[in-house]
Amino acid sequence: MLLPASFYRRENTCLIAKELLGKVLVTRFGQEYTSGIIVETEAYRGAQDRASHAYGNKRTARTEVMYAPGGRAYVYLCYGIHHLFNIVTHGKDVPHAVLIRGIEPLEGIPLMLKRRRSSLLRPSLTAGPGVLSEALGIRTIHSGQTLLHGKDIYIEDTGILVPDKEIICTGRIGVAYAGDDAALPYRFFIRSNPYVSKGKTILPS
């Protein structure tokens, strides 16, 4: 079942990030079909969150899509190389988003391997926000696209159940510049899943 607008447009972005675990992220570009189970996410809470590109309600051409109602892709280039895929959440003019940090490959694995120029199925194929975008063929040109039409990029609920006991919550990765906000418990991942990224979490002080 395709996730509906009502899933993304709720106000609790941390809850959305948590509930995205176990959902299936799909890209379908013509005949090219690839998918993976979401195993790691991070919430970014807009105006009030120093780690967010929309901190202080900053509006630029890049961040504008986050001000749309939930259910669109926000994709940006990081370190000049990596395309990072986010899901816009909350309502209009509230620029929240969820970063997808890890997926477990499900369908179209040969195509993912080809996109990653790899021949071996191993966690480095899709563990990490930059590499999973490459495996799924997601690039900055997709920023702003809707996830609600079941075309190009979308998310399905296939009934995979992730027990609460298997979900771990920590501080976020790579946002040391955000001061105290870096340690907020906004990162969610599935315990012991090999496709969770290997970055260092920032511990609360």
Residues forming contacts to DNA in the complex (CB under 7 A) are 42, 44, 51-54, 58, 60-63, 74, 76-82, 84, 86, 97, 99, 116, 124, 128-132, 140, 172-175, 177, 197, 199
Residues 111, 31 contacting (CB under 8 angstroms) = no
User: How far apart are CB 29 and DNA at their closest, in Å?
Assistant: 21
Q: Give 51 or 153: the residue with its C-beta nearer to DNA.
A: 51
User: How far apart are CB 31 and DNA at their closest, in Å?
Assistant: 25
The Cα–Cα gap between 129 and 103 comes to: 9
Q: Give 28 or 82: the residue with its C-beta nearer to DNA.
A: 82
Tokens of 61: 């051409």
Q: Give 56 or 151: the residue with its C-beta nearer to DNA.
A: 56
Q: Give 80 or 110: the residue with its C-beta nearer to DNA.
A: 80
Tokens of 145: 């696209």
Q: Give 108 or 174: the residue with its C-beta nearer to DNA.
A: 174
User: How far apart are CB 110 and DNA at their closest, in Å?
Assistant: 18
Q: Where are the alpha helices (H) located in 27-185, listed in sequence order? A: 109-115, 129-136
For β-strands 96-107 and 32-45, DSSP reports them as antiparallel
User: How far apart are CB 129 and DNA at their closest, in Å?
Assistant: 5
Q: How many Å is the Cα radius of gyration of the chain?
A: 16
Residues 39, 193 contacting (CB under 8 angstroms) = yes
Tokens of 111: 């195509």
User: How far apart are CB 185 and DNA at their closest, in Å?
Assistant: 16
